[in-house]
Amino acid sequence: MIDLVLVLFLVFSGINRSPPVNAQSQGQVRYKTIEQKITQNVWDLINKTTGAVLCKVTIDRSGEPSQQDALNTCPEIITSSTPATQTQAAFFQNTFWKFVVTREFTTQVKIPIPDIVVNISIPSGPLQKPYLILMAYEPVREYSIISIQGSILQSEFICDGSQCNIPVEQSTLITFHANSSLGDSSHEVTANIDVILQPDGYYVSLVTLSPFSILEDTCAKIWGVNLYTYPTWTNFPKLPNLLNTTKSLYYLVSRLIITGIVDAKDCPGQGLLSNGSPNSCGMERASKVMTDWQNQFDPFIWESGQKNGIPPKIIKTLIEKESQFWPGNSRTYMDEFGLAQMNQVGADVVLRWNSELFTQTCTGLLSECGSSYASLPSWQQAMVRGKLMNRINSDCPTCINGLDLSTTNASIDVFTQVIKANCSQASFIMKDNGVRAGYEDMWRFTLASFHSGYKCLNDAVVTTKKAGKPINWENVSQSFDCPHAKVYVDDVWSNIVNFDKYVIPVVNVNQPIHMPTFVPKPTATPMPTPILSHNTIRVFVYLIFELKPFPENADWVDGVPVEIKLPDGNTIYQIIKNGQTVFDMSQYPVGSLVTINLPTLYRSQSIQLTDQGEILVTFRLMQPQLPLTLP
C-alpha cells in the first residue's frame, strides 16, 4: 500500500502522532499572457459659459465620468480654473460632459498562474523490489506535465508524463524536477532515501527532503490543542488535484447558463425554471463545465492552506457553501464580495486579528499605519475595510464573463486569513470566559464565529457556562440566540466530514506506469599529467659599440633587473651580474609561454619552454649617438 500523505516519521512508529507533513517544490513566479478586449469611452468636460474643453477623460465603463475621474485626470487644470472664492462643487455645476467616442482594442495581459507542484511518495514495505514514486501537477488546465527528470546513482533519468516509478536498490540521493508544456520547469527537489533489506523484503524511507514544508494546523496551535491523532479531513493532499470534486451545484449552473458560459438555448426554458434554477436539461448541458469550474480554484486553495496552516478541505467547503464557486458580488443585508462572499463584518474581524494583513492594506492608504486597526477612528477603519473589500472584488465589466479571475484567485488567500482570524476570535472567547473545548468543537465554534459573529458565539458560551453544562458543540449550539447559526455550522460540518465522498479519483487503472529512461553520466576524462620542463633560461644584457652577432667588443651590464612573467600570472625577479643571470624553469610544463622583461629599459622577449636544455636570451643595447663637437 502507498501512503497517500507523505510524512516524516519514526521508523518504529506506525501511528501518526502529529499533524500531517507535506513536502513539495514550487517553481519561480509564473505568468501566462492572454489577449483581453478593452472598451474605453472618451468624454470631454466642457465649460457651460465658454464652451471650452477643460478636460478629456477616458473611462472603461458605461455612463458619464464622475467628478473624481476628472480630478484624477486633470487636477491642475481644474484647480487653476477654480477661483479662490469658489468651491470645486460650484466649479462642476458650471460644466457638463460631452461624449466623444468609444474605442475598442485588444491588449495582451500578463497574469500570474500557480506554480508547478512536485512531490515524492514512499511505498510501504516490505517490497520485493524497492522503488519511489515521483509526481508532478500542472495547475493550469491548458498546459500539462510533459516529463520528470533528474539524477540518481550517478545516472541521469527522464520519465514521460506526470508520474514516474524510480527503482532504487540502495540508500542514495535523488534530485528531480518537472517540465511543463508551458516551457518552464519546477524547482529542483533533493531527497535522501534510505533502503533497508529485512528478511521479509525491502523497506524504503525518506531521510531528508529539500525543499519541504510541514502543514502545521495553525488553529490548533492558537487553541493550544495537541492531538495524538487528527481527523482524516485535516489531511493535506499531496497534490492540488486531490481536492477535485464533482458535486451538483444548482446556483453555479444557473450562473453559467445566464452568463452564456454554458449554451442551453435549445433546452426547455433555455435550461432554466421560472424561478431561475436550472432544469434537468440545463444541468445535463452544464455537467462538465460545472465540474471544471468548481475545481479550477483548487491550486490556490491548496497553496493558501499550506501557507496559512488551514486544512484545504475546510477552505473549499466554506467557499462552496458561500458562493458555489461563483465569485460575483451579491447583496443580502449588506454587500458581499468574492468566492467567500465576504462582507464588512468579515473584513473587520480579519483586520483586527491579523496585524500583517492590516499593515499591507493600510500602507499607501493612510499616512500612519503603525498603530493597530482597532485603535483607528471609525472613518479610517472604514477606509481600510473598503480597500480590503476592493482587493477581493471580482466584478470586472471589461473582463471575460464580467469576472476578473486573477482577483478571484488572489482573494482565496485573504479568505483563508479570515478563517484563521475567526480561529483567534473563538480562542479569545473561550479564554475570556475561562473555558476550554475539544479540537473539533473549536472548529465548529470558529465556523459559528465566521457566520454569525463575536456576540452570537460569546453569548451562547456565557449562557452554557452559567447553566453549568460542559462547553461543547451540542450544548453551546442549543444556546444560540442568532438565527441560522446552528443550521449553517451543521451543514458545513457535514460537508467537511463527507468531503472525500465527492473527490474525483485521479488514478486511471488503464493508464500505464511510466518508467524512467536512464542515461549514465559520462566518465570524466582524466587530465593528462603535464610534462615538466628541464630548461634553464640564461639572460645576457650588454652594451655594444658595433652591431655584431656576438659581443666581441661590448660592455657587460650590471645591476639591471630582469623579470620573467609566467602563464599563471606570477613573476620571477633577478638582477643581472657581469652581464648575465640564469633562471631555473624545471617546475613549469613544457610548452609554457614565458615573457622576459627588462622593465627599467623597456625591453621584452617571449619564448616557449622545451623539454630540456638551456635557452639563451640576449638583450643588446646600442650606445647612443653623441655629437662630435659641442654646439
Pick from 152, 120, 40: nearest CA to 516: 152
> What separation in angstroms does the CA of 560 have from each of 540, 547, 594?
11, 21, 19
Section 288-298 average pLDDT: 91
Last residue of a domain, one of 109, 134, 167: 109
Number of Cβ atoms within 10 Å of the Cβ of 136: 29
pLDDT at 141 over 80: no
Helix H segments across 224-279? 250-258
Section 501-524 average pLDDT: 65
Number of Cβ atoms within 10 Å of the Cβ of 574: 13
Q: How many domains is the chain built from?
A: 3
Residue of 389 and 537 predicted with greater confidence: 537
CATH number for position 588 = 2.60.40.10
Pick from 381, 346, 342: nearest CA to 372: 381
State the chain's mean pLDDT as an integer: 81
Side by side, which strands form the sheet with 593-598?
Answer: 571-575, 561-565, 593-598, 603-608
**Which three cell numbers mark 388?**
480590503
Looking at residue 2, its pLDDT comes to 35
Residues facing 57 on adjacent strands = 43
Count Cβ neighbours within 10 Å for each residue of 503-531 and write b for 16 or more, e otherwise: eeeeeeeeeeebebebeeeeeeeeeeeee
Report the Cα–Cα distance between both ends of the chain, in Å, rounded.
111
* 3-class state of residue 118 by DSSP: strand
Number of Cβ atoms within 10 Å of the Cβ of 340: 24
Residue of 28 and 254 predicted with greater confidence: 254
**Which three cell numbers mark 615?**
635557452
- Report d(CA 347, CA 392) in Å as an integer: 11
Residues 6+ apart with CB under 8 A from 326: 251, 252, 255, 339
Q: What is the pTM of this model?
A: 0.61
- Report d(CA 145, CA 183) in Å as an integer: 10
**Which three cell numbers mark 191?**
531527497
- Report d(CA 27, CA 581) in Å as an integer: 64
- Report d(CA 579, CA 541) in Å as an integer: 5
> DSSP E strands: which ranges in 248-395?
330-331, 335-336
pLDDT at 554 over 70: no
Domain presence at residue 237: no
Looking at residue 21, its pLDDT comes to 32
Pick from 588, 590, 531, 542: nearest CA to 564: 588
> What separation in angstroms does the CA of 96 have from each of 50, 73, 553?
12, 16, 108
Question: β-pairing, 330-331 with 335-336?
Answer: antiparallel
Domain presence at residue 252: no
**Which three cell numbers mark 473?**
458543540
- Is residue 130 domain-shared with residue 96, that is, in the same domain? no
pLDDT band, very low/low/confident/very high, at 85 (cuts 50, 70, 90): low
pLDDT at 154 over 70: yes
CATH number for position 144 = 2.60.40
Domain presence at residue 304: no
pLDDT at 376 over 90: no
Residue of 549 and 35 predicted with greater confidence: 35
Looking at residue 13, its pLDDT comes to 27
pLDDT at 27 over 50: no
Domain that holds residue 582: 534-622
- Is residue 105 domain-shared with residue 122, that is, in the same domain? no
Number of Cβ atoms within 10 Å of the Cβ of 246: 14
Section 98-107 average pLDDT: 86
Looking at residue 342, its pLDDT comes to 76
- Is residue 538 domain-shared with residue 573, that is, in the same domain? yes
pLDDT tens-digit series, residues 156-195: 899 988 888 888 888 888 899 999 998 888 888 888 888 8
Bond into 126 cis (ω within 30)? yes
- Is residue 596 domain-shared with residue 618, that is, in the same domain? yes
Pick from 186, 194, 245: nearest CA to 504: 245
Domain presence at residue 209: yes
CB 516 within 8 A of CB 166: yes
pLDDT band, very low/low/confident/very high, at 223 (cuts 50, 70, 90): very high
- Is residue 161 domain-shared with residue 78, that is, in the same domain? no
- Report d(CA 171, CA 149) in Å as an integer: 19
Least confident of 112-116, 537-541, 604-608: 112-116
> What separation in angstroms does the CA of 172 have from each of 16, 301, 489?
26, 34, 49
Question: β-pairing, 612-622 with 534-544?
Answer: parallel
Question: β-pairing, 593-598 with 561-565?
Answer: antiparallel
Count Cβ neighbours within 10 Å for each residue of 168-206 and write b for 16 or more, e otherwise: beeeeebebbbbbebeebbbbbebebbbeeeeeebbbbb
CB 262 within 8 A of CB 281: no
Least confident of 132-141, 412-421, 581-590, 614-623: 614-623
Residue of 405 and 132 predicted with greater confidence: 132
Side by side, which strands form the sheet with 95-113?
Answer: 53-59, 30-47, 95-113
Number of Cβ atoms within 10 Å of the Cβ of 594: 23
Q: Which helix (H) or strand (E) holds 71?
A: helix 67-73
- Report d(CA 252, CA 15) in Å as an integer: 41
Residues facing 158 on adjacent strands = 149, 517
Q: Is the dihedral of CA 214, 217, 222, 227 positive or negative?
A: negative
- Is residue 119 domain-shared with residue 214, that is, in the same domain? yes
pLDDT at 226 over 90: no
Looking at residue 83, its pLDDT comes to 60
Max avg pLDDT among 102-116, 472-486, 504-518? 472-486
pLDDT band, very low/low/confident/very high, at 514 (cuts 50, 70, 90): low
- Report d(CA 225, CA 221) in Å as an integer: 6
- Is residue 542 domain-shared with residue 576, that is, in the same domain? yes
> Percent of the chain, pLDDT > 70?
84
Least confident of 161-175, 333-347, 355-369: 333-347
**Which three cell numbers mark 411?**
482573494
- Report d(CA 88, CA 27) in Å as an integer: 51
- Is residue 93 domain-shared with residue 121, that is, in the same domain? no
pLDDT at 209 over 90: no
Question: β-pairing, 561-565 with 571-575?
Answer: antiparallel
Least confident of 38-42, 204-208, 268-272, 396-400: 396-400
Residues 6+ apart with CB under 8 A from 377: none
Neighbouring C-alpha atoms within 13 Å toward the C-beta of 417: 21
Domain presence at residue 174: yes
- Report d(CA 286, CA 257) in Å as an integer: 8
Last residue of a domain, one of 83, 109, 135: 109
Section 477-485 average pLDDT: 89
- Is residue 124 domain-shared with residue 74, that is, in the same domain? no
pLDDT at 54 over 80: yes
pLDDT at 116 over 70: yes
Domain presence at residue 361: no
Looking at residue 427, its pLDDT comes to 94
Domain presence at residue 172: yes
- Report d(CA 404, CA 398) in Å as an integer: 9
- Report d(CA 76, CA 87) in Å as an integer: 15
pLDDT at 311 over 70: yes
Looking at residue 524, its pLDDT comes to 57
Section 463-475 average pLDDT: 94
- Is residue 101 domain-shared with residue 174, that is, in the same domain? no
* 3-class state of residue 523 by DSSP: coil
- Is residue 98 domain-shared with residue 124, that is, in the same domain? no
pLDDT at 491 over 90: yes
- Report d(CA 192, CA 180) in Å as an integer: 25
Looking at residue 494, its pLDDT comes to 94
Residue of 209 and 449 predicted with greater confidence: 449
pLDDT at 7 over 60: no
Looking at residue 629, its pLDDT comes to 52
- Is residue 146 domain-shared with residue 181, that is, in the same domain? yes
CB 585 within 8 A of CB 506: no
Section 96-102 average pLDDT: 92
Last residue of a domain, one of 177, 203, 219: 219
Domain presence at residue 424: no
Number of Cβ atoms within 10 Å of the Cβ of 299: 24
Q: Is the dihedral of CA 582, 588, 594, 598 positive or negative?
A: negative
Looking at residue 493, its pLDDT comes to 94
pLDDT at 126 over 50: yes
